[in-house]
Amino acid sequence: MELKGKRALVTGASKGLGAAVARRLAEAGADVAVHYRGDRAGAEETARAVVAAGRQALLIPADLARPKEAEELVARVADAWGGLDLLVNNAGVAPVRPWDQVTPAEWAEVLAANLSGPFYVMRAALPLLRAGREPAVVNVGSVVSFNGGAFGPAYAAAKAGLVGLTRSAAREWGPLGIRVNCVAPGPIESPLARALPAPVLEAMKAQTPLRRLGTFAEAAEVICWLLSPAAAFVTGQTVVVDGGRVMS
């Protein structure tokens, strides 16, 4: 994948999948704005990896559930680089809460972080993307959009909403030359997966044809491909990266 000279913003890039995507984009030649909310140390580590790959890194904190902070995030990228070409909406939260334990406040918090946040960032970024070079957006969803998952109703609802948001943007932004896709990872080897009860985790593996969890690097590779010119005729799609679990 060739992304030399592209300007990218990755939200939630202090750890996990966001950090893996930021590193992979830098390896492909993109400068990367590394967004984080609370984990500055993790974000700094990601930024160092971007610089080590020979690219520029911006380090920007923001609570994306707040529209004003989402706007300020995008404005800082514009001030530094004069524009934006690639956007990855990865930031979110995933508390493990069964139906009878979800409070209205938790419901609102999860939807704000996982659905409203990407909308606020996309809305703020649209003018920059319209002027960008082969602009593309990838929203990070989840297989819970299809199977309900084990993280509770708020997370499943938010990720399902993100699929609809992706399709809406792809339809309206396509004539502007902006591609918008979604990647829906299945269970990934991560602290989030390890927080699940052991029987649930083992059942996930058993229900996956490849009989294992995925990795951040595998999901990041698909995200970066969707952002690249190699996927120039792909938009409005949700690409599932789950080892075949959904079809089971």
CA distances from 38 to 8, 12, 62, 65 (A): 20, 10, 8, 13
Q: Tell me the backbone φ, ψ of residue 143, rounded to 5 degrees.
A: -65, -15
CA distance linking residue 38 with residue 60, whole number of Å: 11
Instruction: Please indicate whether residue 36 is annotated as part of the active site.
Output: no
Q: Tell me how far apart the alpha carbons of residues 16 and 14 are, in angstroms, rounded to a whole number.
A: 7
Residues 6+ apart with CB under 8 A from 218: 241
Q: Looking at 120, 155, 216, 225, which residue is catalytic?
A: 155
Q: How far apart are CA 52 and CA 87, in angstroms?
A: 21
- Taking the chain, what is the end-to-end CA distance rounded to the nearest angstrom? 31
* 3-state SS assignment for residue 61: strand
CB 169 within 8 A of CB 127: no
Q: Which residues are catalytic?
A: 155
